[in-house]
Every structure is written in structure tokens, then in C-alpha cells.
Chain A
Amino acid sequence: MSKMSRQTAIVGAGRTVGFNVEEHTVAELLAQAAKMAIEDAGLRKSDIDGIITTQVAGFGSDPRLQYRFAEYLGFGSYAKVIDLPHTGGMSSGYANNQARWYLQQGLANYVLVLDGGNWREQYIGRGRDMGAAVRPYRESMRSPHPFDWEMPYGTGGAYSIYAPVGARHMYEFGTTSEQLAAIAVACRKHATMNERACLRDPITIDDVMNSRWISWPHHLLDCAYIAPGCATAYIVTSADRAYDSPKPPVWILGAGHGMSYYHVGNLCTPSPEGFDIVRTVGKLAGDQAFGEAGVSRSDIDCLQVYDSFTTTALLAIEDFGFCEKGEGGPFAEDGRLELGGELPLNTHGGLLSEGQPGNGTLFVMYEGISQARGEAGERQAAEKPMVCIGGASGVASNFGCTILQGE
């Protein structure tokens, strides 16, 4: 076992301006983000010899999309490493670890990590026929698809299967809708300072409570805002190259990930290790990342997490260890998650207010990089913040955790 902490750094980052997809394909947006990251790092395209692409929404079901992409961007020529983690919204911690492994083995010098999507068009413009997605699976696998056990009852995307997680948390720990709402309020407050954010009007807890039910116990404002197209990219390199770029490096202090089940029924069944639907493997991810970084939770100046729903952020706060299990509700109160509070959460507004154009996990990462670089302007959490970044996927099934710090 070798020590990986501070052996790799982020030396470039890019994010397309605003959100739009009317006149751009996702591929174009990704190309833009990649170009921005490469220029930010003071590199040339040919320096990039590793590419990690998340599952980019809008590219259909082709598992080879990473090649199509690399080729489209003109990177495909002779990259040594092209990877596509199938880990959804938890991809940040995961991709960071994969990138570190490639760098550590000398398989690549600069790894470009990409994410993007246009969920708004996909989900709202066209609807989403899960039946069509399931059919080829069944036919070729001749195994039941996990959706077979849920979809016929009327599930239709993450919102209807995440809500039971929130309901169980309320039942076991007495968490209230007002406490969940405090998470949405904090994120919106931060979004008002972020020009990129889709939703920038301040809201109150009452506003959240009075927004319509989407899937009880989640109100409209407990749910991420599905955004038009956007893409983001960043570049990871090894310590020996970290100072070759114009901007000071952002060091990866630690990264970890934990995965579990997908089917909600199985998530409800407690595991021998004590995990279940409200005690997530975010604990594995957090313990790994903090253990490796050798820092404590109280060292963290801001937390950027995948907040597909207020409940998702709540679980990350608890399971990463920022408070005891079940105490996430009270922890979210009293402005503790707002800038100026104890643990500012999603200083860009999160997926709840900045918007979620796709998996979204790397947009959270992008804000973390901006914070670590001290580039977050009036949203800056501290002068040289130590940042914790979290991603989640499945039904809070899988978590990734990364800890960053600027130079």
C-alpha cells in the first residue's frame, strides 16, 4: 500500500457558461469544457493522454460513448487510457480515484475528467419511456430487469424512489420537512451569488413547504432543478507536473467510494455491516477519504455534495460524519449550512438551485475546485478552504467522497 494523499493535483478546470442546449449538442458543450480546462492548465491537446468520461446524458445507451467522445474531441488518436465509469452521480470520488490510479502507475500523465448532459431536453422534451430501455435488456439477458419490480407500480425516475428514503428518515429519526427545507434554503441563498445558477430568487422555509408535492415527503423545492445543457471538465496530474501549470495546484488529499444495491426493497433490508436505506455506504466513502487525508471533519470549510434531493444531501452530511446518524435534521437548522455558518453547503447553489443538467456530480466538483483555488468571489467560504466533495448515485446506493485543498 502506498500513500496517495497529495500525490495528485487538479491543474485545470472548465465549465461552459450558463445553461443552454437549444443551439448546442452535449458533445459540443463537452468540447468547450475540455478546451477551457486544457487552456486553464496551460496544456495542449496532445498532452492529454487519459480521459475519464462519466455517463453523459443525451448519448443514448451506447456503452462505447467514451470512444465516440474522444474521437469527436480529437483526443482519441492515441490516448493510453480512456475510461467510462458506470457509476452515475457518485462519479466524482470514483473518477478521482481512477485518475489517481492511472497516474500512479504511469499509464497517463494528464487525465481529463468530463461530465455533461441535457436532461431537460431528455426528460421533459421527450418524456422517458423506461419500458423501451428495459426491453432490449430483458431480451438479450433473459434476466429480470430491476425496473420490473418497481416500474409497473408507477415509479418514473429518481424522484419517486428517493422520496421513500426521506420518509423512512423522518420515521426513524423524527426529521421534519422544515429541516429538509433548510437545506434547500441554504442552497438558494448561495445561488443568489452565482451568476451561473438557474434559480436565484431567495426562498424561505415556508416557500419550500408551500411548493407543491412532487412525491411526498418531497416538495417541488426539495428536488433538483433539471437544467438545460451544460458541461464541465477538469485535469488531474501527478505531483511532479503539478507546478508546470499557470495556476497553483489543487491537491487531492483523499478520495474514497462505497457502493451498495439498487433495488429499493433490498436497500431496506439491513446488511450485516449495519447499512440500510437511511444508513448508507457514504460512511465507507467518507471514512476512506478522511482516513487517507488524515484530516478531521472539523477541518472542512465547505461541503459540496450531490443534492438530487434535500434528502440526498442530508444523508451525505450524516454518513460522511459531519454529525451523528439521525441528527442531520437538527444540524441543517439555524443557518449552519449557509455561508458564514459552521459548514457551508453547496456554495454554488447545488443541483437544487444551480441546476442539474445530467449526472451533475462534476458540477459539484467544479465548485469545489473554484473554492480551493479561492476563485469563488463573494461565495468564497474561507481564504484557503479545505473542501469536501460528495457524489451519490442509485437510490443513495453509492457514494463518492473527495477532499481537496489549494496550494
Chain B
Amino acid sequence: MIETLSREAAIIGIGSTEMRNPDGRSGMSLYMEAIKNAMEEAELTKSDIDGFLVYPPNGSMRFHTELTEQLGSANFGKSLCDFPLVGGLMVGLAVNKARSAVFHDQCKNVIVVGGGTWRSSSHRTPIGLSGVDLSESIYHSREPISMEYEFPYGLHLPALAAMVTQRHMQEFGTTSEQLAAIAVAARKHAALNERALLRTPISVDDVLSSRMIAEPLHLLDCSYIADGASAFIVTSAERARDAVQEPVWILGSGQAQSFQHMGHLCRGSDSEFDLVRTVGKIAAGQAFTQAGLGPEDVDVAELNDSFTTTVLLQLEDYGFCAKGEAGDFVADGRLELGGALPLNTHGGLLSEGDNGLGNSIPALIEAVTQLRGDAGERQVEGAEVAMVSGVSESLSSYSVALLGRN
């Protein structure tokens, strides 16, 4: 009974706001603008949308229902409305749910929306960047929580990624210069993207001389926190053929989760996986199998780059290079436009901006733009297959989607 659903669903609309919010608008307002833009691009009306996968700005359990409510009467009765999981996992999970829903005729069109107001928000959290007040869940519950054994020591997300990085360096001889090359490539692409927040070109030296956040990660190894929202619309193969926009096909998607506690991540299992050998391998393997493709078929990669290290791990675990060799792989402009594997052609979270829990949607939107041939100056010529990924903030869970040109 297994059906891979390759090319059974397609993306037929994309929409975004700016990555900034100078007027201090509400998150809801930004989300609505992104939805409106996606629907108008696809020439769909409210009553055409009967599925909503919503990544709330702050982990709120009810935001998804409130959003559909504010969108109004045409969406009173809908077949799918969920806040499915959080963080970097969204691409694979949302794509999977959306395409299953349209394939099984549960829904006609599913909209996926996410974003946030991280930069403008007054709400600061103990872990700085997550947008979720962990202190509440830690101290207001008597249930066991692995974070209790980590956060009291002063852990924040960059520190967590830094510990992974340190281990990668120790095992494989990866250098800070190599990591910096990832940030340099992203910035180079951001210079060609009007939406990007950081567009001034940088050098490897600029990255290395930016202030240290958590040894060995510098400021420019970390994503740039932004405001904004973005959305895309998934429909069935049958409906996609009548779409106004050229459909971009979902070829495959996969996901895999592991531990949250770092101790478990280090040595948590008898399997092949650990802190620097991630379950991203399972996620990408699923996606490639469904699509009948391999890493060599990917023309452009829009991968989660919460930190430069995040990209490094994925390049290895998705099979673009052997384990431990990503440091060498990223050198010589291989990730830059014109290189063998153009990566984050919009600038990624590092340079375009990181707008919160739905932060993989801008990457997906860039992939769609590339496959439609609409990327202008930053177009990867002849791009047929794009990879998009999401990675959880603790670098422990991964999701991958492979998209293909019409």
C-alpha cells in the first residue's frame, strides 16, 4: 500500500512580507499579508483554502485556530487546521501533511504559513533566540524535562551549536575559516536579493573578526533575527494542472527526529548516529528514495542555516560529501552561484534573515522561485531539482523536501 506520492502534489502559490517590521505591526497582520499575497498570486479565493498548517510566532497552542478565524467566514468549516510541530522540522512535516491531505482529498488547497516578530518583540526568553519561554515549562511543571539538566548551566542556542561545532572540529579537523566560507557565500547571494536584510559583502576575515558569541561560533556564524511572515499553497496534481502559476512539484520529503538532551545526542544510542552524525541522513534518504534521485541530481540547495555548522552537518549527512569532509567541500566557492552546488541563493537565515518558527518557508519560497526561473540575477541556470530543509534549533531533528520544475 505504500505510495511515495512523488509528483502527486504541487506548490502553486507563494507569498511573503518584508523581513522587517518598522511600524510594529502585529504578528497576525504580517501572517495575513503573506497569506493574502500567496492567495492572490495563485488567484485563489478564501473558500478555495480548506487546509491550514500554521507555525505560530511563539509556540502558542491556539494561534492556528485564531488565524483561520480572523481570516473569516469562508473558512468556517475546514478540513485541516493544525500547528504541526515546531522549529526546523516544518518543511518536511508540513509538506508531508499538506500533500497527504490533498492526495487523499481531505483538502483542496492547503496553505502553510509561518513567521514571527522576533526582532521587534519585547518578549525575550532565557534561551535568547527560541521565542518560547522555556522557563515556564521547566518551572511550572513537575514532569521530567531534559532541559532542566542543561539550561541551568547557562546554555543558549548558539552555545549548543558551538558544542556541536567544537566536536566536528575535533573529529574532522574542520576550521573556522571553512565555516566562514558558508557565511560568505550566503552574503554574496543576499547582495542579489532585495528582501535580504544584510547585503554588504563580507570576507572570511570579516567573519573571523566578528565578535565571539560562543567559541568557536562568531556573530556572523549565527542567523540574523528578523520579523516577517511567509506562506505557500499546496494542491493536488489534478488541480495543479489548472493553476495560474507554473506548478512546482513535490518529488519527495522525509523527516527524522532524535534526542533533545545533548547527552543523549552525544552517545544516546547504539546506532550509527551521534552529535555530528545526524539523523538528517534518514530524512534525506527518504526524500531521495521517494523522488528516485540522489544528491548529484540537486541543482540548488536551500538548506537551514541557523548556524554555519548546521549547513556543514547537512552537506555531509545528506550525502553531498563524505562524513567529515564538508570543511573542504565548502571551500573554493562551491556553494556560491556558479559553483557546483549553489546554496541558499537568497542569503539564508544568515543574511536574508531568520523570522522565527516558520523560518524554513523563505527557503522553500526561494526554491520555488528558482524552479520557476524567476530568480533574476541570482537564477541558477537550468535548475530542475531543488532541495529544501528544516533543522530543529538543537540540531537534532531534520526534514527535507525535494522539489522539481514543471
A and B touch in their complex, CB below 8 angstroms: yes
A86-B61 contact given A61-B137, A271-B73, CB 8 Å threshold: yes
Q: Is A262 an interface residue (CB 8 A)?
A: yes
Chain B residues in 8 Å Cβ range of A84? 84-85
**B27, chain A: closest CB distance, angstroms:** 5
Q: Could you tell me if A2 and B103 are in contact, using CB atoms closer than 8 angstroms?
A: yes
Q: Could you tell me if A240 and B1 are in contact, using CB atoms closer than 8 angstroms?
A: yes
Nearest chain A residue, comparing its CB with the CB of B254: A107
Q: Give the docked Cα–Cα distance between A306 and B73 (Å).
A: 26
Q: Is B259 an interface residue (CB 8 A)?
A: yes
Q: Could you tell me if A78 and B76 are in contact, using CB atoms closer than 8 angstroms?
A: no
Q: Which of B27, B106, B140, B273 contacts A141 (CB 8 A)?
A: B27
Chain A residues in 8 Å Cβ range of B123? 136, 139-140
Interface string of B30-68 (1 = CB under 8 A from A): 000000000000000001000000001111111111101
Q: Is B79 an interface residue (CB 8 A)?
A: yes
A71-118 contacts to B (CB < 8 Å):
71-72, 76-87, 94, 97-98, 101-107
A139-176 contacts to B (CB < 8 Å):
139-144, 146
Q: Could you tell me if B69 and A259 are in contact, using CB atoms closer than 8 angstroms?
A: no
Q: Is A211 an interface residue (CB 8 A)?
A: no
Q: Give the docked Cα–Cα distance between A60 and B236 (Å).
A: 37
* Residue among A80, A94, A284 facing the most chain B CB atoms (10 A cut-off): A80
Chain A residues in 8 Å Cβ range of B78? 258-260, 281
Chain B residues in 8 Å Cβ range of A98? 97
Q: Could you tell me if A25 and B144 are in contact, using CB atoms closer than 8 angstroms?
A: yes
* Residue among A82, A143, A146, A239 facing the most chain B CB atoms (10 A cut-off): A143
Q: Could you tell me if A58 and B260 are in contact, using CB atoms closer than 8 angstroms?
A: no
Q: Give the docked Cα–Cα distance between A150 and B117 (Å).
A: 25
Q: Could you tell me if A78 and B65 are in contact, using CB atoms closer than 8 angstroms?
A: no
Interface string of B264-297 (1 = CB under 8 A from A): 1000110101000001001000100010000000
Q: Which of B83, B140, B260 contacts A60 (CB 8 A)?
A: B140
Q: Give the docked Cα–Cα distance between A136 and B132 (Å).
A: 9
**Can you list 13 A-B pairs with a CB-CB distance of less than 8 A?**
A25-B142, A60-B138, A68-B145, A77-B259, A77-B264, A85-B82, A105-B5, A106-B4, A141-B56, A238-B1, A259-B68, A263-B66, A398-B81
Q: Give the docked Cα–Cα distance between A271 and B73 (Å).
A: 6
Q: Give the docked Cα–Cα distance between A66 and B141 (Å).
A: 15
Q: Is B134 an interface residue (CB 8 A)?
A: yes
A214-257 contacts to B (CB < 8 Å):
238-240, 256-257
Chain A residues in 8 Å Cβ range of B82? 85-87, 94
Chain B residues in 8 Å Cβ range of A288? 79, 106
Q: Could you tell me if B144 and A140 are in contact, using CB atoms closer than 8 angstroms?
A: no
Q: Could you tell me if A63 and B4 are in contact, using CB atoms closer than 8 angstroms?
A: no
Q: Give the docked Cα–Cα distance between A71 and B254 (Å).
A: 20
Tell me the B residues contacting A by CB distance below 8 Å.
1-5, 24-29, 47, 56-66, 68-69, 73-74, 76-87, 93, 96-97, 100-101, 103-106, 117, 120-123, 131-134, 136-138, 140-147, 236, 254-261, 264, 268-269, 271, 273, 279, 282, 286, 290, 397
**B333, chain A: closest CB distance, angstroms:** 35
Q: Which of B60, B80, B122, B144 contacts A27 (CB 8 A)?
A: B144
A260-B100 contact given A26-B143, A61-B59, A78-B282, CB 8 Å threshold: no
Nearest chain A residue, comparing its CB with the CB of B268: A77
**B11, chain A: closest CB distance, angstroms:** 18
Q: Give the docked Cα–Cα distance between A2 and B79 (Å).
A: 17
Q: Is A124 an interface residue (CB 8 A)?
A: no
Q: Give the docked Cα–Cα distance between A55 and B60 (Å).
A: 12
Q: Give the docked Cα–Cα distance between A59 and B61 (Å).
A: 13
Q: How many residues of A contact B (CB 8 A)?
A: 77
A4-B264 contact given A61-B61, A107-B96, CB 8 Å threshold: no
Interface string of A31-65 (1 = CB under 8 A from B): 00000000000000000000000010011111111
Q: Give the docked Cα–Cα distance between A76 and B260 (Å).
A: 8
Q: Is A397 an interface residue (CB 8 A)?
A: yes
Q: Could you tell me if A78 and B5 are in contact, using CB atoms closer than 8 angstroms?
A: no
Chain B residues in 8 Å Cβ range of A377? none
**A73, chain B: closest CB distance, angstroms:** 11
Q: Give the docked Cα–Cα distance between A209 and B326 (Å).
A: 72
Q: Could you tell me if B62 and A262 are in contact, using CB atoms closer than 8 angstroms?
A: yes
Q: Could you tell me if B77 and A284 are in contact, using CB atoms closer than 8 angstroms?
A: yes
**A68, chain B: closest CB distance, angstroms:** 6
Q: Could you tell me if A62 and B257 are in contact, using CB atoms closer than 8 angstroms?
A: no
Q: Is A67 an interface residue (CB 8 A)?
A: yes
Q: Is A261 an interface residue (CB 8 A)?
A: yes
Chain A residues in 8 Å Cβ range of B120? 142
Q: Give the docked Cα–Cα distance between A257 and B81 (Å).
A: 10
Q: Give the docked Cα–Cα distance between A2 and B69 (Å).
A: 31
Chain A residues in 8 Å Cβ range of B259? 67, 71, 76-77
Q: Give the docked Cα–Cα distance between A144 and B62 (Å).
A: 12
Q: Give the docked Cα–Cα distance between A266 and B264 (Å).
A: 46
Q: Could you tell me if A105 and B143 are in contact, using CB atoms closer than 8 angstroms?
A: no
Q: Give the docked Cα–Cα distance between A72 and B143 (Å).
A: 10
Q: Could you tell me if B61 and A104 are in contact, using CB atoms closer than 8 angstroms?
A: no
A106-B282 contact given A141-B28, A259-B65, CB 8 Å threshold: no
Known contacts A63-B132, A83-B93, A143-B28; 13 additional CB pairs below 8 A are A7-B1, A58-B142, A60-B138, A63-B86, A68-B143, A76-B257, A101-B100, A105-B100, A107-B286, A139-B121, A139-B123, A146-B66, A288-B79
Chain B residues in 8 Å Cβ range of A273? 76-77
Q: Could you tell me if B27 and A143 are in contact, using CB atoms closer than 8 angstroms?
A: yes
**A70, chain B: closest CB distance, angstroms:** 7
Q: Give the docked Cα–Cα distance between A140 and B117 (Å).
A: 7
Chain A residues in 8 Å Cβ range of B66? 143, 146, 262-263
Q: Give the docked Cα–Cα distance between A97 and B97 (Å).
A: 10
Q: Could you tell me if B144 and A63 are in contact, using CB atoms closer than 8 angstroms?
A: no
Q: Which of B83, B97, B140, B260 contacts A86 (CB 8 A)?
A: B83
Chain B residues in 8 Å Cβ range of A260? 76-78
Q: Could you tell me if A140 and B4 are in contact, using CB atoms closer than 8 angstroms?
A: no
Q: Could you tell me if A60 and B136 are in contact, using CB atoms closer than 8 angstroms?
A: yes
Q: Is A204 an interface residue (CB 8 A)?
A: no
Nearest chain A residue, comparing its CB with the CB of B52: A259
Chain B residues in 8 Å Cβ range of A106? 2, 4
Q: Which of A71, A86, A103, A259 contacts B80 (CB 8 A)?
A: A259
Interface string of A263-307 (1 = CB under 8 A from B): 100100101110100000101100010000000000000000000
Q: Which of B4, B100, B103, B264 contacts A71 (CB 8 A)?
A: B264
Q: Give the docked Cα–Cα distance between A267 and B406 (Å).
A: 41
Chain A residues in 8 Å Cβ range of B25? 142
Q: Could you tell me if B77 and A271 are in contact, using CB atoms closer than 8 angstroms?
A: yes
Q: Could you tell me if A80 and B63 are in contact, using CB atoms closer than 8 angstroms?
A: no
Q: Give the docked Cα–Cα distance between A7 and B4 (Å).
A: 16
